[in-house]
Copies of this chain bind each other. A is one copy, B any other.
Amino acid sequence: MDYPDYAEKLGRLIQAGQAERGILLCGSGVGASIAANKLKGIYAGVCHDTFSGHQGVEHDNMNVLCLGPRVIGPELAMEIITAFLSARFIGNDPGQERHARRVAKIRKLES
């Protein structure tokens, strides 16, 4: 099993509605995020700080968090995971339509 296999496994679960969000780990998180984003409906980001961990969900509808244990340690990872899991997409809130517009443009790139 290589990191793209795990990314695909998780992505297929989300595509099938069996999971809402997921977390992938690889050396730096980069390879896992590239692989996961190749799948339709999967929006994966490397986030090594808490701001990105919630903002990726709030603005970009990120549903897969990618972390690199060769770059950050376990306590920071836990706080980023909490930020990720606590956040919700705000693009459908009044005044925040620009985020939904941008996510729609990403969806267009998938088709």
Contact = CB atoms under 8 A, between A and B. Distances in A.
A47 interface: yes
A46 interface: yes
Interface string A32-69: 01110111000111111101100110011010000010
A22 interface: no
Interface string A9-45: 0000000000000000001111101110111000111
Q: State the oligomeric state as a number of copies.
A: 2
Interface residues of A, number: 42
Interface of A: 2-5, 7-8, 27-31, 33-35, 37-39, 43-49, 51-52, 55-56, 59-60, 62, 68, 70-71, 98, 101-102, 105-106, 108-110
